[in-house]
Each structure stands twice: as structure tokens, then as C-alpha cells.
């Protein structure tokens, strides 16, 4: 039986009759173990995500470990990484959508909103975060909270810490 691939909660599982392995988006190993089969790899992912979920400070916010794992298994594209790393390094992790758009050369804040909502949706899907997957603002809430007074986005500390760790890998 030749190797087959299946995506499951942000992981790529490669499997055949001899076992299953978890891969990152670039094809390297996401977990050191070889599982007996596809079902046991999925069971490990489900258990792992359940454990991470229990450690969250809020349902729509991941843990540092969870965000780091998500960044590793589904690496952000260059513009997403540029925005995330600048946002993580900003004073009090605060930036406006327009400042993020300016950073990567977009003219309108709507581009930053679109990209952060797509990133938030991917993170939410992989980490099983409690958000409305059809609401762009809820998707952004997986990445940052909005300051009602200034309109700035405040990157979640957990994601900022994960971005910092990711940058050193």
C-alpha cells in the first residue's frame, strides 16, 4: 500500500499499512512517534487538543503551546508573519489595522482585517477555539482583542509568546 495523506485539525497525517506519522506544513515531522494507524494518529490529535483546551484562559484564546504548534504545522505566509512579529513586538502588543496594513504595503486596513480573519479562522479550526467561524470579527478574536476606545488590536499574550518562540526555531 502506498503512502496516503490526510489533513486533520491542522496536521498532515501520512500513513500506510505500517503506521502513521504527523507532518508539518513543510513536510517535517510534527511529532516524534509513529502511530499504529490513521485512527490512532487522529486519537492522539484529539486527546492533545483536548488537553490544550483545558489550559486556556478563555475559549477563544489558545495556549502558547497550542499557538506555537499551529504556527509550526501550518506556517504563516510572509505577510502574516511580518504582521504577527511586528504586532508581538509593539508596545503593549497594540496596533491598528491600518498600521498593520501599512507595514506590509497595503493601502487599506480592510486588507489587514481580511488576512487576520483568515489567520484567526485557521488557528481556531486547528485549536478548536470557540469562535463563530462565519464571523470575520470573531475570527480576529482568535488573534487579538479590540480596544473599544482606540479601535486598536491587542495581540493575545499567548500568541505573542508563541510568535517569539516560533521566530527562534
Residues 92-144 have pLDDT tens digits of 999 999 999 999 999 999 999 999 999 999 999 888 888 887 888 889 999 99
Domain boundaries, the chain: 4-54, 64-167
Read off the pLDDT of residues 29-59 as tens digits, 9 standing for 90 and up: 778 889 999 999 999 888 887 877 777 888 8
Assess whether pLDDT exceeds 80 at residue 169: no
pTM comes to: 0.75
* Per-residue H/E/C for 23-68: ECCCCCECCCCCECCHHHHHHHHHHHHHHHHHCCCECCECCHHHHH
Asked if residue 98 lies in contact with residue 112, where contact means CB atoms within 8 angstroms, the answer is yes
pLDDT of residue 96: 97
Amino acid at each position: 500500500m502506498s503512502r496516503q495523506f490526510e489533513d486533520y485539525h491542522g496536521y498532515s497525517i501520512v500513513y500506510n499499512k505500517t503506521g502513521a506519522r504527523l507532518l508539518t506544513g513543510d513536510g517535517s515531522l510534527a511529532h516524534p512517534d509513529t502511530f499504529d494507524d490513521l485512527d490512532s494518529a487522529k486519537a492522539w490529535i484529539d486527546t492533545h487538543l483536548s488537553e490544550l483546551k483545558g489550559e486556556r484562559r478563555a475559549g477563544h484564546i489558545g495556549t502558547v503551546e497550542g499557538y506555537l504548534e499551529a504556527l509550526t504545522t501550518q506556517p504563516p505566509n510572509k505577510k502574516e508573519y511580518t504582521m504577527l512579529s511586528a504586532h508581538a513586538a509593539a508596545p503593549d502588543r497594540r496596533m491598528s489595522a491600518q498600521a498593520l496594513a501599512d507595514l506590509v504595503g497595503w493601502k487599506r486596513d480592510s486588507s489587514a482585517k481580511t488576512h487576520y480573519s483568515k489567520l484567526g479562522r485557521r488557528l481556531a479550526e486547528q485549536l478548536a477555539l470557540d469562535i463563530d467561524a462565519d464571523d470575520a470579527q470573531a475570527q480576529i478574536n482568535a488573534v487579538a482583542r479590540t480596544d473599544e476606545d482606540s479601535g486598536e488590536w491587542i495581540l493575545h499574550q499567548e500568541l505573542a509568546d508563541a510568535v517569539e518562540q516560533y521566530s527562534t526555531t
